[in-house]
Chain A
Amino acid sequence: MIEFKNVSKTYEDTGVRALSDVSFSIEKGEFVFLVGRSGAGKSTLSKLIIKEESPDEGEIFVNKFDLNALAKKEIPYLRRSVGMMFQDFRLLPNKTVYENVAFAMQVIGASRSEIRRNVPNVLNLVGLGHKARMLPSQLSGGEQQRVSLARALVNKPPVIIADEPTANLDPDTSVQIMELLAEVNQRGTTMIVTTHAKDFVDTMHKRVLEFRDGVLIRDEKEGAYGNDI
Protein backbone atom coordinates (compact mmCIF):
# COMPACT_ATOMS: atom_id res chain seq x y z
CA MET A 1 0.00 0.00 0.00
CA ILE A 2 2.75 2.47 0.98
CA GLU A 3 6.34 1.56 0.34
CA PHE A 4 9.57 3.52 0.84
CA LYS A 5 12.73 2.06 -0.69
CA ASN A 6 16.02 3.69 0.39
CA VAL A 7 14.53 7.14 0.42
CA SER A 8 16.72 10.16 1.20
CA LYS A 9 15.76 13.79 1.22
CA THR A 10 17.87 16.90 1.82
CA TYR A 11 16.28 20.35 1.73
CA GLU A 12 18.27 22.42 -0.74
CA ASP A 13 17.63 25.81 0.82
CA THR A 14 18.64 24.87 4.38
CA GLY A 15 20.90 21.92 3.64
CA VAL A 16 19.08 19.89 6.31
CA ARG A 17 19.12 16.16 5.67
CA ALA A 18 15.56 15.32 6.63
CA LEU A 19 15.48 11.63 5.71
CA SER A 20 18.36 9.25 5.27
CA ASP A 21 18.05 5.93 3.45
CA VAL A 22 14.60 5.15 4.83
CA SER A 23 12.88 1.89 3.85
CA PHE A 24 9.61 0.44 5.15
CA SER A 25 6.26 -0.69 3.89
CA ILE A 26 2.78 -0.29 5.28
CA GLU A 27 0.07 -2.75 4.31
CA LYS A 28 -3.56 -2.08 3.69
CA GLY A 29 -5.58 -1.68 6.90
CA GLU A 30 -2.60 -1.06 9.20
CA PHE A 31 -2.51 1.51 12.00
CA VAL A 32 0.96 3.06 12.28
CA PHE A 33 2.35 5.64 14.70
CA LEU A 34 5.24 7.78 13.48
CA VAL A 35 7.22 9.00 16.50
CA GLY A 36 10.38 10.99 17.08
CA ARG A 37 11.47 14.44 18.17
CA SER A 38 10.55 17.54 16.23
CA GLY A 39 12.73 17.67 13.15
CA ALA A 40 13.27 13.91 13.10
CA GLY A 41 11.73 13.63 9.64
CA LYS A 42 8.09 12.75 10.34
CA SER A 43 6.62 15.74 8.55
CA THR A 44 8.94 15.27 5.60
CA LEU A 45 7.65 11.72 5.33
CA SER A 46 4.06 12.96 5.13
CA LYS A 47 5.02 15.54 2.52
CA LEU A 48 6.74 12.89 0.44
CA ILE A 49 3.66 10.66 0.53
CA ILE A 50 1.44 13.36 -0.97
CA LYS A 51 4.28 14.56 -3.22
CA GLU A 52 4.47 18.00 -1.73
CA GLU A 53 8.17 17.20 -1.76
CA SER A 54 10.18 14.79 -3.90
CA PRO A 55 12.99 12.54 -2.67
CA ASP A 56 16.61 12.98 -3.77
CA GLU A 57 17.09 9.23 -3.87
CA GLY A 58 15.00 6.13 -3.53
CA GLU A 59 11.54 5.03 -4.61
CA ILE A 60 8.12 5.67 -3.10
CA PHE A 61 4.91 3.82 -3.93
CA VAL A 62 1.58 5.04 -2.60
CA ASN A 63 -1.55 3.04 -3.41
CA LYS A 64 -1.25 2.42 -7.13
CA PHE A 65 1.09 5.36 -7.77
CA ASP A 66 4.83 5.19 -8.41
CA LEU A 67 5.75 8.67 -7.22
CA ASN A 68 9.00 8.93 -9.18
CA ALA A 69 7.08 8.33 -12.39
CA LEU A 70 4.13 10.52 -11.44
CA ALA A 71 3.39 13.38 -13.85
CA LYS A 72 2.63 16.74 -12.30
CA LYS A 73 -0.96 16.70 -13.45
CA GLU A 74 -1.53 13.31 -11.80
CA ILE A 75 -0.61 14.64 -8.35
CA PRO A 76 -4.22 15.64 -7.54
CA TYR A 77 -5.31 12.05 -8.12
CA LEU A 78 -2.63 10.77 -5.76
CA ARG A 79 -3.83 13.25 -3.13
CA ARG A 80 -7.43 12.08 -3.50
CA SER A 81 -6.26 8.66 -2.35
CA VAL A 82 -4.66 10.07 0.83
CA GLY A 83 -6.81 11.92 3.39
CA MET A 84 -4.99 14.54 5.47
CA MET A 85 -5.60 15.76 9.03
CA PHE A 86 -3.59 18.53 10.69
CA GLN A 87 -3.01 19.63 14.25
CA ASP A 88 -4.44 23.09 13.42
CA PHE A 89 -7.51 21.48 11.74
CA ARG A 90 -7.35 23.83 8.73
CA LEU A 91 -11.08 24.41 8.49
CA LEU A 92 -12.54 27.32 6.55
CA PRO A 93 -13.91 29.72 9.19
CA ASN A 94 -16.64 31.20 7.00
CA LYS A 95 -18.11 27.85 5.98
CA THR A 96 -20.37 25.67 8.12
CA VAL A 97 -19.40 22.18 9.25
CA TYR A 98 -21.42 20.72 6.38
CA GLU A 99 -19.88 23.09 3.84
CA ASN A 100 -16.35 22.42 5.05
CA VAL A 101 -16.82 18.70 4.42
CA ALA A 102 -18.78 19.20 1.20
CA PHE A 103 -16.01 21.50 -0.05
CA ALA A 104 -13.59 18.56 -0.24
CA MET A 105 -16.02 16.75 -2.54
CA GLN A 106 -16.97 19.80 -4.53
CA VAL A 107 -13.40 20.69 -5.50
CA ILE A 108 -12.73 17.26 -6.95
CA GLY A 109 -15.82 17.61 -9.11
CA ALA A 110 -18.28 15.38 -7.22
CA SER A 111 -21.92 15.66 -8.25
CA ARG A 112 -24.44 17.36 -5.99
CA SER A 113 -26.31 14.13 -5.33
CA GLU A 114 -23.09 12.39 -4.25
CA ILE A 115 -22.34 15.29 -1.92
CA ARG A 116 -25.83 15.22 -0.41
CA ARG A 117 -25.53 11.50 0.19
CA ASN A 118 -21.96 11.26 1.55
CA VAL A 119 -21.58 14.35 3.73
CA PRO A 120 -24.36 13.55 6.26
CA ASN A 121 -23.11 9.95 6.49
CA VAL A 122 -19.60 10.92 7.31
CA LEU A 123 -20.73 13.63 9.75
CA ASN A 124 -22.81 11.03 11.57
CA LEU A 125 -19.82 8.71 11.65
CA VAL A 126 -17.75 11.31 13.52
CA GLY A 127 -20.74 12.18 15.73
CA LEU A 128 -21.40 15.67 14.39
CA GLY A 129 -24.58 15.11 12.38
CA HIS A 130 -26.46 17.48 14.66
CA LYS A 131 -23.92 20.31 14.32
CA ALA A 132 -23.81 20.39 10.53
CA ARG A 133 -25.01 23.97 10.33
CA MET A 134 -22.59 25.43 12.86
CA LEU A 135 -19.48 27.39 12.04
CA PRO A 136 -16.08 26.07 13.18
CA SER A 137 -15.80 28.94 15.68
CA GLN A 138 -18.88 27.60 17.49
CA LEU A 139 -17.24 24.20 18.01
CA SER A 140 -14.76 22.91 20.60
CA GLY A 141 -11.26 21.90 19.51
CA GLY A 142 -12.16 18.23 19.56
CA GLU A 143 -15.22 18.83 17.43
CA GLN A 144 -13.19 20.83 14.95
CA GLN A 145 -10.74 17.96 14.67
CA ARG A 146 -13.66 15.63 14.00
CA VAL A 147 -14.78 17.89 11.16
CA SER A 148 -11.26 17.68 9.84
CA LEU A 149 -11.46 13.86 10.05
CA ALA A 150 -14.86 13.90 8.32
CA ARG A 151 -13.34 15.99 5.53
CA ALA A 152 -10.41 13.58 5.20
CA LEU A 153 -12.83 10.65 5.07
CA VAL A 154 -15.51 11.96 2.79
CA ASN A 155 -13.80 11.07 -0.48
CA LYS A 156 -13.19 7.55 0.85
CA PRO A 157 -9.40 7.48 0.56
CA PRO A 158 -7.70 4.15 1.32
CA VAL A 159 -5.14 5.98 3.52
CA ILE A 160 -5.41 8.77 6.09
CA ILE A 161 -2.40 10.66 7.40
CA ALA A 162 -3.04 12.49 10.66
CA ASP A 163 -0.31 14.99 11.57
CA GLU A 164 -0.32 15.29 15.38
CA PRO A 165 -4.11 15.24 15.52
CA THR A 166 -4.26 15.63 19.32
CA ALA A 167 -1.51 18.21 19.78
CA ASN A 168 -3.95 21.06 20.41
CA LEU A 169 -6.54 19.09 22.36
CA ASP A 170 -7.09 18.40 26.04
CA PRO A 171 -6.51 14.81 27.28
CA ASP A 172 -10.18 13.68 27.34
CA THR A 173 -10.86 15.02 23.87
CA SER A 174 -7.65 13.46 22.66
CA VAL A 175 -8.86 10.07 23.80
CA GLN A 176 -12.08 10.49 21.83
CA ILE A 177 -10.20 11.48 18.67
CA MET A 178 -7.80 8.54 18.96
CA GLU A 179 -10.72 6.16 19.52
CA LEU A 180 -12.39 7.57 16.45
CA LEU A 181 -9.24 7.09 14.38
CA ALA A 182 -9.02 3.51 15.60
CA GLU A 183 -12.66 2.97 14.65
CA VAL A 184 -12.11 4.33 11.15
CA ASN A 185 -9.08 2.05 10.90
CA GLN A 186 -11.25 -0.89 11.96
CA ARG A 187 -13.49 -0.16 8.98
CA GLY A 188 -10.51 -0.73 6.69
CA THR A 189 -8.81 2.64 6.21
CA THR A 190 -5.05 2.58 6.59
CA MET A 191 -4.11 5.09 9.31
CA ILE A 192 -0.75 6.84 9.69
CA VAL A 193 -0.57 9.04 12.79
CA THR A 194 2.40 11.23 13.73
CA THR A 195 2.30 12.03 17.42
CA HIS A 196 4.11 13.04 20.59
CA ALA A 197 1.32 11.57 22.73
CA LYS A 198 3.24 8.89 24.60
CA ASP A 199 0.20 7.53 26.47
CA PHE A 200 -1.73 6.62 23.35
CA VAL A 201 1.18 4.95 21.67
CA ASP A 202 1.88 2.93 24.77
CA THR A 203 -1.74 1.88 25.39
CA MET A 204 -2.93 1.24 21.84
CA HIS A 205 -0.25 -1.33 20.96
CA LYS A 206 -0.03 -0.41 17.32
CA ARG A 207 2.94 -0.52 14.96
CA VAL A 208 5.51 2.18 15.72
CA LEU A 209 8.08 3.72 13.35
CA GLU A 210 10.61 5.82 15.26
CA PHE A 211 12.78 8.39 13.52
CA ARG A 212 15.87 10.15 14.77
CA ASP A 213 17.76 12.74 12.68
CA GLY A 214 16.11 11.46 9.54
CA VAL A 215 16.97 7.82 10.17
CA LEU A 216 14.39 5.10 10.82
CA ILE A 217 15.79 3.62 14.01
CA ARG A 218 12.90 1.39 15.09
CA ASP A 219 10.05 -0.44 13.35
CA GLU A 220 8.12 -2.39 15.94
CA LYS A 221 4.81 -4.25 15.77
CA GLU A 222 2.64 -3.51 18.80
CA GLY A 223 5.32 -1.10 19.91
CA ALA A 224 5.58 1.55 22.60
CA TYR A 225 6.53 5.21 22.41
CA GLY A 226 10.09 4.72 23.61
CA ASN A 227 11.94 6.32 26.46
CA ASP A 228 14.56 8.52 24.89
CA ILE A 229 12.44 10.65 22.57
Chain B
Amino acid sequence: MIFRNAKYFFVQGVKGLVSNSLMTLASIGIVIASLVLFGFFLLFGMNLNAVGEQIKEQCEINVYMPNEMSRDGVREIGSALSEIEYVKEAQLYTKEERLQNYREGVYQERAEVIDTLEEDNPLRDAYILVLEDVTKASEVAAAAAKIEGVQEVVNRQDLIQQILSITNTVQHVSVWLLLILAFISVFIISNTIKLGMFSRRKEINIMKFVGATNWFIRWPFIIEGMLLGAVGAACAFAIVMLGYGSVLPAIQEFMGNIELLASAEVINIVIALFLIMGMGIGMTGSGLSIRKHLHV
Protein backbone atom coordinates (compact mmCIF):
# COMPACT_ATOMS: atom_id res chain seq x y z
CA MET B 1 0.00 0.00 0.00
CA ILE B 2 2.89 2.35 0.72
CA PHE B 3 3.99 2.36 -2.90
CA ARG B 4 0.51 2.67 -4.32
CA ASN B 5 -0.15 5.68 -2.13
CA ALA B 6 3.36 7.13 -2.16
CA LYS B 7 2.29 10.06 -4.28
CA TYR B 8 -0.62 10.85 -1.99
CA PHE B 9 1.63 10.74 1.10
CA PHE B 10 4.24 12.91 -0.57
CA VAL B 11 1.71 15.50 -1.75
CA GLN B 12 0.15 15.62 1.72
CA GLY B 13 3.61 15.96 3.28
CA VAL B 14 4.46 18.89 1.02
CA LYS B 15 1.07 20.49 1.70
CA GLY B 16 1.83 20.24 5.39
CA LEU B 17 5.10 22.10 4.87
CA VAL B 18 3.52 24.85 2.84
CA SER B 19 0.44 25.35 4.98
CA ASN B 20 2.46 26.02 8.09
CA SER B 21 5.20 28.11 6.57
CA LEU B 22 6.45 29.98 9.62
CA MET B 23 7.08 26.85 11.67
CA THR B 24 8.46 25.15 8.56
CA LEU B 25 11.02 27.92 8.17
CA ALA B 26 11.93 27.74 11.85
CA SER B 27 12.41 23.98 11.60
CA ILE B 28 14.51 24.14 8.48
CA GLY B 29 16.52 26.99 9.99
CA ILE B 30 17.42 25.05 13.11
CA VAL B 31 18.39 22.00 11.07
CA ILE B 32 20.62 24.20 8.90
CA ALA B 33 22.25 25.83 11.93
CA SER B 34 22.86 22.47 13.59
CA LEU B 35 24.31 20.81 10.53
CA VAL B 36 26.49 23.78 9.52
CA LEU B 37 28.05 23.83 12.97
CA PHE B 38 28.44 20.08 12.90
CA GLY B 39 29.91 20.28 9.39
CA PHE B 40 32.51 22.75 10.57
CA PHE B 41 33.67 20.41 13.32
CA LEU B 42 33.47 17.41 11.01
CA LEU B 43 35.73 18.99 8.38
CA PHE B 44 38.10 20.33 11.02
CA GLY B 45 38.37 16.85 12.53
CA MET B 46 38.80 15.12 9.16
CA ASN B 47 41.59 17.52 8.21
CA LEU B 48 43.36 17.11 11.54
CA ASN B 49 43.27 13.39 10.95
CA ALA B 50 44.70 13.77 7.47
CA VAL B 51 47.45 16.07 8.74
CA GLY B 52 48.29 13.59 11.48
CA GLU B 53 48.56 10.78 8.94
CA GLN B 54 50.88 12.79 6.74
CA ILE B 55 53.13 13.70 9.63
CA LYS B 56 53.20 10.06 10.64
CA GLU B 57 54.34 9.11 7.16
CA GLN B 58 57.04 11.70 7.27
CA CYS B 59 58.08 10.46 10.66
CA GLU B 60 61.81 10.56 11.14
CA ILE B 61 63.90 10.68 14.24
CA ASN B 62 66.85 13.05 14.30
CA VAL B 63 69.81 12.06 16.44
CA TYR B 64 72.44 14.72 17.14
CA MET B 65 76.04 14.15 18.21
CA PRO B 66 78.20 16.76 20.01
CA ASN B 67 79.82 19.31 17.70
CA GLU B 68 83.32 18.38 18.71
CA MET B 69 82.96 14.60 18.18
CA SER B 70 85.25 13.04 15.59
CA ARG B 71 83.79 11.63 12.36
CA ASP B 72 84.90 8.11 13.38
CA GLY B 73 83.09 8.42 16.67
CA VAL B 74 80.02 9.58 14.79
CA ARG B 75 80.16 6.59 12.44
CA GLU B 76 80.44 4.24 15.40
CA ILE B 77 77.28 5.68 16.82
CA GLY B 78 75.71 5.34 13.35
CA SER B 79 76.27 1.59 13.29
CA ALA B 80 74.86 1.30 16.81
CA LEU B 81 71.82 3.26 15.71
CA SER B 82 71.16 1.05 12.70
CA GLU B 83 71.11 -1.99 14.99
CA ILE B 84 68.16 -0.67 17.01
CA GLU B 85 65.01 -2.68 16.36
CA TYR B 86 62.55 -1.13 13.85
CA VAL B 87 65.23 1.14 12.36
CA LYS B 88 65.30 0.64 8.63
CA GLU B 89 68.13 2.98 7.91
CA ALA B 90 70.35 5.47 9.69
CA GLN B 91 71.40 8.21 7.27
CA LEU B 92 74.34 10.40 8.17
CA TYR B 93 73.76 14.09 7.70
CA THR B 94 77.10 15.77 8.34
CA LYS B 95 77.46 19.27 9.74
CA GLU B 96 79.02 20.36 6.42
CA GLU B 97 75.97 19.11 4.54
CA ARG B 98 73.70 20.84 7.00
CA LEU B 99 75.53 24.13 6.58
CA GLN B 100 75.36 23.74 2.82
CA ASN B 101 71.68 23.15 3.20
CA TYR B 102 71.28 26.42 5.05
CA ARG B 103 73.31 28.19 2.37
CA GLU B 104 70.98 26.92 -0.32
CA GLY B 105 67.85 27.27 1.75
CA VAL B 106 66.86 29.91 4.27
CA TYR B 107 70.10 31.89 4.01
CA GLN B 108 70.26 31.90 0.23
CA GLU B 109 70.25 35.69 0.05
CA ARG B 110 72.71 36.19 2.86
CA ALA B 111 75.38 33.64 1.97
CA GLU B 112 78.00 35.85 3.65
CA VAL B 113 76.60 34.84 7.03
CA ILE B 114 77.25 31.22 6.18
CA ASP B 115 80.73 32.08 4.87
CA THR B 116 81.76 33.37 8.29
CA LEU B 117 80.80 30.04 9.76
CA GLU B 118 82.87 27.94 7.32
CA GLU B 119 85.92 28.11 9.57
CA ASP B 120 84.21 27.14 12.75
CA ASN B 121 81.02 25.27 11.94
CA PRO B 122 78.67 25.45 15.00
CA LEU B 123 76.31 22.75 13.68
CA ARG B 124 76.33 19.15 14.80
CA ASP B 125 76.52 15.93 12.85
CA ALA B 126 73.19 14.19 12.78
CA TYR B 127 71.63 10.83 11.89
CA ILE B 128 68.20 10.63 10.40
CA LEU B 129 66.53 7.38 11.40
CA VAL B 130 64.01 5.97 8.96
CA LEU B 131 61.67 3.55 10.71
CA GLU B 132 60.11 0.28 9.60
CA ASP B 133 57.15 0.92 11.86
CA VAL B 134 56.28 4.52 12.68
CA THR B 135 54.23 3.55 15.70
CA LYS B 136 57.43 2.44 17.44
CA ALA B 137 58.98 5.91 17.21
CA SER B 138 58.97 6.52 20.97
CA GLU B 139 60.76 3.24 21.73
CA VAL B 140 63.36 3.84 19.04
CA ALA B 141 63.94 7.37 20.27
CA ALA B 142 64.43 6.12 23.81
CA ALA B 143 66.89 3.44 22.68
CA ALA B 144 68.81 5.98 20.60
CA ALA B 145 69.08 8.36 23.55
CA LYS B 146 70.74 5.62 25.62
CA ILE B 147 73.64 5.19 23.21
CA GLU B 148 76.76 6.76 24.66
CA GLY B 149 77.84 9.89 22.87
CA VAL B 150 74.40 10.84 21.60
CA GLN B 151 73.69 14.40 22.60
CA GLU B 152 70.05 14.90 21.61
CA VAL B 153 67.17 12.97 20.05
CA VAL B 154 64.36 14.86 18.34
CA ASN B 155 61.23 12.86 17.79
CA ARG B 156 58.25 14.30 15.92
CA GLN B 157 56.04 11.69 17.55
CA ASP B 158 55.29 14.31 20.22
CA LEU B 159 53.77 16.49 17.56
CA ILE B 160 51.65 13.60 16.32
CA GLN B 161 50.49 12.94 19.87
CA GLN B 162 49.47 16.55 20.21
CA ILE B 163 47.53 16.46 16.96
CA LEU B 164 45.87 13.21 17.96
CA SER B 165 44.79 14.68 21.26
CA ILE B 166 43.38 17.77 19.54
CA THR B 167 41.57 15.52 17.07
CA ASN B 168 40.16 13.59 19.97
CA THR B 169 38.93 16.73 21.69
CA VAL B 170 37.39 18.02 18.48
CA GLN B 171 35.60 14.70 18.02
CA HIS B 172 34.25 14.79 21.56
CA VAL B 173 33.08 18.36 21.25
CA SER B 174 31.42 17.72 17.90
CA VAL B 175 29.58 14.63 19.14
CA TRP B 176 28.21 16.51 22.16
CA LEU B 177 27.38 19.54 20.09
CA LEU B 178 25.61 17.32 17.58
CA LEU B 179 23.60 15.63 20.32
CA ILE B 180 22.50 18.94 21.84
CA LEU B 181 21.64 20.50 18.49
CA ALA B 182 19.86 17.35 17.33
CA PHE B 183 17.81 17.40 20.52
CA ILE B 184 16.77 21.02 19.95
CA SER B 185 15.99 20.30 16.27
CA VAL B 186 13.89 17.26 17.14
CA PHE B 187 11.96 19.33 19.67
CA ILE B 188 11.20 22.11 17.20
CA ILE B 189 10.28 19.72 14.38
CA SER B 190 8.00 17.73 16.64
CA ASN B 191 6.20 20.95 17.55
CA THR B 192 5.85 21.86 13.90
CA ILE B 193 4.33 18.48 13.16
CA LYS B 194 2.07 18.81 16.19
CA LEU B 195 0.68 22.07 14.82
CA GLY B 196 0.18 20.37 11.46
CA MET B 197 -1.80 17.60 13.14
CA PHE B 198 -3.88 20.15 14.99
CA SER B 199 -4.76 22.01 11.81
CA ARG B 200 -5.70 18.72 10.14
CA ARG B 201 -7.54 17.19 13.08
CA LYS B 202 -10.85 17.13 11.16
CA GLU B 203 -9.29 15.22 8.30
CA ILE B 204 -7.62 12.82 10.71
CA ASN B 205 -10.92 12.24 12.47
CA ILE B 206 -12.68 11.47 9.18
CA MET B 207 -9.83 9.20 8.13
CA LYS B 208 -10.27 7.24 11.33
CA PHE B 209 -14.00 6.67 11.01
CA VAL B 210 -13.90 5.73 7.34
CA GLY B 211 -11.27 3.12 8.18
CA ALA B 212 -7.88 4.47 7.11
CA THR B 213 -5.12 2.36 8.62
CA ASN B 214 -2.88 3.90 11.26
CA TRP B 215 0.05 3.95 8.90
CA PHE B 216 -1.98 5.68 6.23
CA ILE B 217 -2.66 8.48 8.71
CA ARG B 218 0.95 8.59 9.93
CA TRP B 219 2.86 8.56 6.65
CA PRO B 220 2.19 12.15 5.53
CA PHE B 221 3.50 13.44 8.86
CA ILE B 222 6.57 11.23 8.71
CA ILE B 223 7.26 12.45 5.19
CA GLU B 224 6.72 16.04 6.30
CA GLY B 225 9.35 15.54 9.01
CA MET B 226 11.75 13.87 6.59
CA LEU B 227 11.32 16.70 4.09
CA LEU B 228 12.02 19.30 6.78
CA GLY B 229 15.23 17.45 7.59
CA ALA B 230 16.23 16.88 3.98
CA VAL B 231 15.68 20.49 2.91
CA GLY B 232 17.64 21.68 5.95
CA ALA B 233 20.41 19.21 5.15
CA ALA B 234 20.59 20.34 1.51
CA CYS B 235 20.89 24.01 2.50
CA ALA B 236 23.47 23.21 5.18
CA PHE B 237 25.42 21.15 2.65
CA ALA B 238 25.52 24.06 0.20
CA ILE B 239 26.64 26.50 2.89
CA VAL B 240 29.32 24.21 4.30
CA MET B 241 30.79 23.21 0.94
CA LEU B 242 30.81 26.76 -0.40
CA GLY B 243 32.43 27.94 2.81
CA TYR B 244 34.99 25.15 2.77
CA GLY B 245 35.85 25.77 -0.87
CA SER B 246 36.44 29.45 -0.20
CA VAL B 247 38.64 29.18 2.92
CA LEU B 248 40.61 26.10 1.86
CA PRO B 249 43.15 27.81 -0.47
CA ALA B 250 44.16 30.33 2.21
CA ILE B 251 44.64 27.68 4.89
CA GLN B 252 46.44 25.38 2.47
CA GLU B 253 48.95 28.11 1.69
CA PHE B 254 49.60 28.51 5.39
CA MET B 255 50.08 24.74 5.87
CA GLY B 256 52.88 24.49 3.29
CA ASN B 257 53.70 20.95 2.13
CA ILE B 258 51.11 19.28 4.36
CA GLU B 259 48.09 18.74 2.19
CA LEU B 260 44.58 19.42 3.43
CA LEU B 261 41.56 17.52 2.11
CA ALA B 262 40.20 18.87 -1.16
CA SER B 263 36.45 19.53 -1.47
CA ALA B 264 36.10 16.53 -3.79
CA GLU B 265 37.53 14.28 -1.08
CA VAL B 266 34.99 15.30 1.56
CA ILE B 267 31.89 15.98 -0.52
CA ASN B 268 30.51 12.43 -0.43
CA ILE B 269 30.84 11.91 3.27
CA VAL B 270 29.42 15.36 4.04
CA ILE B 271 26.37 14.87 1.83
CA ALA B 272 25.74 11.36 3.14
CA LEU B 273 26.08 12.33 6.80
CA PHE B 274 23.99 15.47 6.39
CA LEU B 275 21.16 13.66 4.64
CA ILE B 276 21.14 10.78 7.10
CA MET B 277 21.19 13.14 10.05
CA GLY B 278 18.76 15.67 8.63
CA MET B 279 16.21 13.03 7.72
CA GLY B 280 16.86 11.12 10.92
CA ILE B 281 16.21 14.24 12.99
CA GLY B 282 13.08 14.98 10.94
CA MET B 283 11.71 11.47 11.31
CA THR B 284 12.45 11.39 15.03
CA GLY B 285 10.65 14.71 15.47
CA SER B 286 7.56 13.59 13.59
CA GLY B 287 7.68 10.16 15.23
CA LEU B 288 7.61 11.76 18.68
CA SER B 289 4.63 13.90 17.73
CA ILE B 290 2.79 10.94 16.24
CA ARG B 291 3.35 8.89 19.37
CA LYS B 292 2.24 11.66 21.64
CA HIS B 293 -0.62 13.28 19.78
CA LEU B 294 -1.95 10.99 17.05
CA HIS B 295 -4.12 8.48 18.86
CA VAL B 296 -5.36 6.21 16.14
Note all chain A residues with C-beta closer than 8 A to B213: 73, 76, 108
User: Does A107 reach chain B (CB closer than 8 Å)?
Assistant: yes
| Cβ-neighbour of B214 out of A73, A81, A104, A111 (below 8 A) | A73
Question: Once bound together, how far apart are the Cα atoms of A92 and B73, in whole Å?
Answer: 98
Question: Once bound together, how far apart are the Cα atoms of A37 and B211, in whole Å?
Answer: 29
How distant is A192 from chain B, measured CB to nearest CB, in Å? 14
Question: Once bound together, how far apart are the Cα atoms of A111 and B5, in whole Å?
Answer: 9
Cβ A155 vs Cβ B211 within 8 A: yes
From known contacts A80-B211, A155-B211, infer whether A109 and B216 are also in contact, taking CB-CB under 8 Å: yes
User: Does A50 reach chain B (CB closer than 8 Å)?
Assistant: yes
From known contacts A106-B8, A107-B216, A109-B216, infer whether A80 and B210 are also in contact, taking CB-CB under 8 Å: yes
User: Does A206 reach chain B (CB closer than 8 Å)?
Assistant: no
Cβ A92 vs Cβ B203 within 8 A: yes
Cβ A108 vs Cβ B202 within 8 A: no
User: Does B205 reach chain A (CB closer than 8 Å)?
Assistant: yes
From known contacts A90-B206, A92-B206, infer whether A107 and B212 are also in contact, taking CB-CB under 8 Å: yes
Tell me the nearest residue of chain B to A83, going by C-beta: B210
Interface residue ranges of B201-244 to A (CB < 8 Å): 202-203, 205-214, 216-217
Question: Once bound together, how far apart are the Cα atoms of A81 and B210, in whole Å?
Answer: 9
Q: Using an 8 Å CB-CB cutoff, how does the interface string of A92-136 with B read, 1 for contact, 0 for none?
A: 100000000001101111010000000000000000000000000
| Cβ-neighbour of B211 out of A79, A90, A92, A111 (below 8 A) | A79
User: Does A77 reach chain B (CB closer than 8 Å)?
Assistant: yes
Cβ B212 vs Cβ A90 within 8 A: no
Cβ A107 vs Cβ B210 within 8 A: yes
Cβ A84 vs Cβ B1 within 8 A: no
Cβ B203 vs Cβ A76 within 8 A: no
Cβ B214 vs Cβ A155 within 8 A: no
| Cβ-neighbour of A108 out of B205, B211, B214 (below 8 A) | B211
Cβ B1 vs Cβ A109 within 8 A: yes
Note all chain A residues with C-beta closer than 8 A to B5: 109
Interface residue ranges of B1-53 to A (CB < 8 Å): 1, 4-5, 8
A-B contacts counted at CB < 8 A amount to 50
User: Does A151 reach chain B (CB closer than 8 Å)?
Assistant: yes
How distant is B179 from chain A, measured CB to nearest CB, in Å? 34
Interface residue ranges of A49-82 to B (CB < 8 Å): 50, 73, 76-81
| Cβ-neighbour of B206 out of A50, A80, A103 (below 8 A) | A103
Note all chain B residues with C-beta closer than 8 A to A111: 4
Question: Once bound together, how far apart are the Cα atoms of A107 and B208, in whole Å?
Answer: 9
How distant is A80 from chain B, measured CB to nearest CB, in Å? 4
Note all chain A residues with C-beta closer than 8 A to B209: 50, 79, 84
| Cβ-neighbour of A79 out of B8, B203, B208 (below 8 A) | B208
Question: Once bound together, how far apart are the Cα atoms of A107 and B205, in whole Å?
Answer: 12
A-B contact pairs, 29 of them (CB 8 A): A76-B211, A76-B214, A78-B211, A79-B209, A80-B210, A81-B211, A84-B209, A84-B210, A90-B202, A90-B206, A92-B202, A92-B203, A92-B206, A103-B203, A103-B206, A103-B210, A106-B8, A107-B206, A107-B207, A107-B210, A108-B211, A108-B213, A108-B216, A109-B1, A109-B4, A109-B5, A111-B4, A151-B210, A155-B211
A interface residue numbers (CB < 8 A to B) = 50, 73, 76-81, 84, 90, 92, 103-104, 106-109, 111, 151, 155
